[in-house]
Structure 1
Amino acid sequence: MSKRRKNRHNRSKILDRRVGDRPGHLYVPAEAYEPRFFLISFSESSLEEMELESYELLLKKVRNAPEARHWVDIRGYGNLSLLEEITRDFGLHPLQMEDVINDYQRPKVEEFEGNRLFLISRMLRWSNDTHCLDDVQLSIFTGPNYVLTLQSDYEDCLDPLRERIRVGKGVIRTRPVMYLAYAILDVVLDYYFPVMSDIGSYTDKLEQLVLLEPNRQSLSEVLSLKSELIKLRRIVWPERDKLNELLRLDENVIPGNLRVYFRDAYDHVVQLIDLIDNQKEMTSSLVELYMSTVSNRMNEIMKVLTIISSIFIPLSFIVGLYGMNFAHENPETGRVYPLNMPELYQPYAYPILLFLMVALIGLQLFFFYRKGWFRSF
């Protein structure tokens, strides 16, 4: 999908809510995927991972194992009645589900009854073909023994976390479900750094392009990158606010032994903001570099044209002067006009004049060379 089409698609998502609808009214976009149901149930000593055929089977699995911790992962919003069932079964507010479906929300956190959290993050991908960002909303709900994630796409960036759960790497299978929620947020943020690395590589390529081929296309690409960085900044700044709010929540919601992890994620976001600001400054510098390069090339062109004009000015003067054809002697009467053109009828006058003009050109070129006007060519 091209950048322009992608932006129109994102704007259409924002406008999916119909004007005048009551708050909490659920509306499924026509292009939404059919839901798929994934479940990872684990404890310190056990693990069960599966994709289920129906929502009823998923709900039964979760309710039949209250002692385990569950990661309920639902991908696709193409079933309105199912979304209403999820809202009812997991005790969600219709306004929260509305934010899930109208999935171009800013990253945020909301606390609701039972010390549960509703979190929104945005998963990022950088396309090396279109040189633009693709972001997908990830909605996270925490419960007493589960984390529920909902997303519109089938693919996400959370496979490294799933692998950590499978192999029991780290402490994730011994921690409470709030740690799982943190781990999901952390993986999403970790993927921002490769995106920044790709953007940095693309910026270096644009710098070479601006230096070697400063044209409208290169300027358009620089301005497009600057627009993508502004979009990225609009995503990362709310992530910072969200983590700041999480750190201020009560101990009953975020236990003290988990706060150090959320502070680490907060530090990552601050680092990302610094990287984005640096990239923005670089793109602004690229615009200035483009203008400077174009101006320098124009100066070189004007210098060449000035030298050419300087060469032909005395030649034009000589040719124009002798082109007036004022005879020095009247051929009929033999009368001499002393102030008229001399040597107008001399033999070999034409080749002599051409030789003098060529010699004059040579003298001018030698003069320009001694002045150093050719050194920048």
Structure 2
Amino acid sequence: MIQVCLLKDGQVVSGGEELLSQDGRKWIDVQQPTEEVLNRLAERFGLHKLAVEDCLHLDQRPKLEEYPNHQFIVLQGFTTATKDVCDLTLHEHHFFLAPEWIISVHDFPFAGFDAVMKRVRDDPKATLERGTDFILYMLADGLVDAQFPILDAFSDELEDLEVAIFEKVEPQQLQRIFEMKRMLVQVRRVLSPQRDVVGLLSRRGIVHVNERTTLYFRDVYDHLVRLYEQIDAGRDILGNVMDGYLSMVANKTNDITKQLTIFATLFLPLSFIVGFFGQNFEALSSTGYYYAMWVMIIGFPVALVLWFKHKQWL
């Protein structure tokens, strides 16, 4: 059976300190790692100092590295702290995998880890006895599956934004488009190398990963492919939304320009008529010229409006 030991802030909060020195399979989960704790684990389990150094600097990219007595795996994922889909929190998880033990290191609590921990404790025979690599699969699967609700919410908001743009263009919509674009680039930058890492774990011949467990990693790899396809589809739709926004802004500008041009065209002949009949000579003071002036003032605009409608400019 695998013994579960949970460390947080350098203190053993579950499982007991004696588990670190006992023989047998172990799963040790370290939250908010400190140099002292990792050095103690490195001395006990022979962890490589380069891998330990990576755990102390949570800015690594997803990767798989092989060391003499263990595998070092880095996986990442996102959660949303608020309803804003662009407000993402990056979760970086480090794993040390050996036949008899697995050590998971992460800074923030993660709901997927809690679910795996509960599953392990509730049904140890169906989970733990399959090996430490199966624990790694369950953790990786929980980390990857947590990305689907985020991208689904992204797609829903993108569709609503597209509808809102065609109803009424507003300046804040452009700002939101760029926020969603940055969010999509951030997710893609993480999931792209992670897909390669899980692809390596799904192949046969990886040290400390049983052949039967590679089948489960293939399922995780398939989920990452679906996520990547969803990201590509989101990029295309986001580009279409941007084009739609620019088109609506251009149409609105054209409508304003057309209206101003029509007003200018209507008042141009009126300015000429008023200027012509406003000349100071005696002939223009007769009644005929007076009526002719008003006929032209009223007739010219009406004729221009009818002509505009005939040309379908109005």
Taking structure 2 as the reference length, the TM-score comes to 0.88
Matched, 1:54 2:11: yes
Q: Which amino acid aligns with 2:74?
A: I
What amino acid sits opposite 2:99 in the alignment?
P
**Which residue of the partner structure matches residue 247 of structure 2?**
292
Alignment of 1:195-274 (within 5 A): 195-248=150-203, 250=205, 252-274=207-229
Structure 1 counterpart of 2:11, one-letter code: S
Residues 273, 130 of structure 1: CA spacing in aligned structure 2 closer, same or farther, 3 A cutoff?
closer
Does the aligned pair in 1 maintain the 2:85–2:153 contact within 8 Å? no
Cα distance in structure 1, aligned partners of 2:246 and 2:7:
56
Corresponding position of 1:363: 303
**Cα offset, 1:371, TM superposition:** 3.4
What CA deviation, in whole Å up to 9, does each residue of 1:37-72 have, x standing for no partner? xxxxx56xxx878778934974412433x34x4321
Query: Could you tell which deviates more after superposition, 83-92 or 306-315?
Result: 83-92
Tell me the distance in 2 between the aligned counterparts of 1:76 and 1:214: 46
Aligned residue number for residue 122 of structure 1: 76
Structure 2 letter corresponding to 1:90 = F
Distance 1:147 1:178 in 2: 8
Contact 1:132 1:225 in 2 (8 A): no
3-state SS, counterpart of residue 209 of structure 2: coil
Look up the match of 2:59. Answer: 104
Q: Which has the higher contact order (CA 8 A, sep 6+)?
A: 2
2:40 aligned to which of 85, 88, 97: 85
Q: Give me the whole-angstrom Cα distance separating, in 2, the residues matched to 1:170 and 1:321.
A: 103
In structure 1, what is the Cα distance between the partners aligned to 2:19 and 2:5? 11
Secondary structure in structure 2 of the residue aligned to 1:172: helix
Rounded Cα–Cα distance in structure 2 between residues aligned with 1:130 and 1:165: 31
Residue matched to 1:30 = none
Aligned match of 1:346: 286
**Superposed CA offset, 1:234-281 (max 9, x none):** 111111111222234626522221111111211211111111111111
Q: Closer, same or farther in 2 for the Cα pair 1:169/1:214, shift >3 Å?
A: farther
Q: Distance in 1 between matches of 2:85 and 2:41?
A: 36
Which of 94, 112, 121 is 2:49 aligned to? 94
Deviations 1:268-304, CA, capped at 9 Å, x for gaps? 1111111111111111111111111111111111111
Matched, 1:185 2:135: no
CA contact (8 A) 1:210 1:219 kept: no
Task: Please tell me the residue identity of whatever aligns with 2:305.
Answer: L
| Stretches of structure 2 lacking an aligned partner (at least 5 in a row) | none
CA contact (8 A) 2:5 2:19 kept: no
Q: Hey, what does 1:70 align to over in structure 2?
A: 26
Q: 2:114 is aligned with what amino acid?
A: D
Q: Output the amino acid matched with 1:74.
A: V
Larger helix percent: 2
Q: Which runs of 5+ in 1 are unaligned?
A: 1-41, 329-343
Against the structure 1 CA distance between its residues 251 and 140, is the aligned structure 2 distance closer, same or farther, given a 3 Å change threshold? closer
Instruction: Name the CA distance, whole Å, in 1 between partners of 2:279 and 2:127.
Output: 99
Contact 1:71 1:147 in 2 (8 A): yes
Instruction: In structure 2, give the amino acid aligned to 1:357.
Output: I
Separation in 2, partners of 1:184, 1:345: 98
Quick check: which has more Rg, 1 or 2? 1
Q: For 2:19, give the aligned amino acid.
A: K
Counterparts of 1:48 and 1:139 in 2: how far apart (Å)?
A: 17
**Where does residue 145 of structure 1 map in the other structure?**
100
1:318 pairs with one of 273, 281, 286: 273
Whole-angstrom distance in 2 between the partners of 1:100 and 1:293: 49
Deviation at 1:355, TM superposition (A): 5.0
Change (3 A) 1:48 1:291: closer
What is the correspondence of 1:164-175 to structure 2 with a 5 Å cutoff? Answer: 164-168=119-123, 171-175=126-130
CA contact (8 A) 2:64 2:74 kept: yes
Q: How many angstroms does 1:113 deviate by?
A: 1.9
